[in-house]
Amino acid sequence: DADVTQTPRNRITKTGKRIMLECSQTKGHDRMYWYRQDPGLGLRLIYYSFDVKDINKGEISDGYSVSRQAQAKFSLSLESAIPNQTALYFCATSVLGLAGADTQYFGPGTRLTVL
């Protein structure tokens, strides 16, 4: 969805380096998420934020940190990258849907390779 953008789209880095993945959205949604996806598996939630001053750990937050700089921006950092963090990373936003629960909108993904 073009309303959710991620930078960079691809990144190759070395073990021990600090990496930041950025997400921006123009949907005006308060809720934002970071997921990772490994080959053949579903998405796993890393962190989520329901508004600018709210940060919550997800299923697999160890080794990651986030910053919610504004309603539209949510960044994911790997303080010291390791090879098993090689994965496809997705940012998402959500809004309460007509049916009564959140509908999530995903960005195009960032493919991160840690050597």
Partner 1 sequence: LAKTTQPISMDSYEGQEVNITCSHNNIATNDYITWYQQFPSQGPRFIIQGYKTKVTNEVASLFIPADRKSSTLSLPRVSLSDTAVYYCLVGVMEYGNKLVFGAGTILRVKS
> Which residues of this chain interact with partner 1, rule CB under 8 A?
1, 4, 31, 35, 40-45, 48, 50, 56, 58-59, 88, 90, 92, 94, 97, 99-109, 111
- 23 and 91 Cβ atoms separated by less than 8 Å: yes
Question: CB-wise, 72 or 88, nearer to partner 1?
Answer: 88
The dihedrals phi and psi of 15, each to the nearest 5 degrees, come to -55, 135
DSSP reduced 3-state for 83 = helix
Supply 52's token pair.
């600018």
Question: CB-wise, 41 or 70, nearer to partner 1?
Answer: 41
CB of residue 78 to partner 1, shortest distance in Å:
20
